[in-house]
Amino acid sequence: MFNWLKKWCQQGASAPAPRFEPTSYQGFDIYPEPMAEGGQYRLHGRITRLKDGELQEYRLIRSDLLPSAEQAAELMVAKAKRVIDENGERIFD
């Protein structure tokens, strides 16, 4: 009876972003994790590296909003590569 109300309320809810495979680059692993926000996707992800048996992680969050999760993931990988090129191991300091 109230299915129409349930559907109407769910229209504004954000769907979870799809999962993307990690990319390896110069000894680092890049995990794109776009965040759904207002019908768009924020550039978000992680750069990780295993060093001496310890997992090091750097979160990359930017203000960029893109219309699709795929575009956000692609741009995240490109920006992560740039961060790695510019900073190398210093990103974990």
pTM: predicted TM-score of the whole model, two decimal places: 0.78
Alpha helices in the chain (DSSP H): 3-10, 69-87
- For the chain, list the domains and their CATH numbers: 3-92 (3.30.160.350)
DSSP 30: E
C-alpha span between 86 and 88 (Å, rounded): 6
How high is the mean pLDDT in each 10-residue block of the chain (93 residues)? 49 61 96 94 96 94 94 96 96 90
Q: What is the pLDDT of residue 91?
A: 93
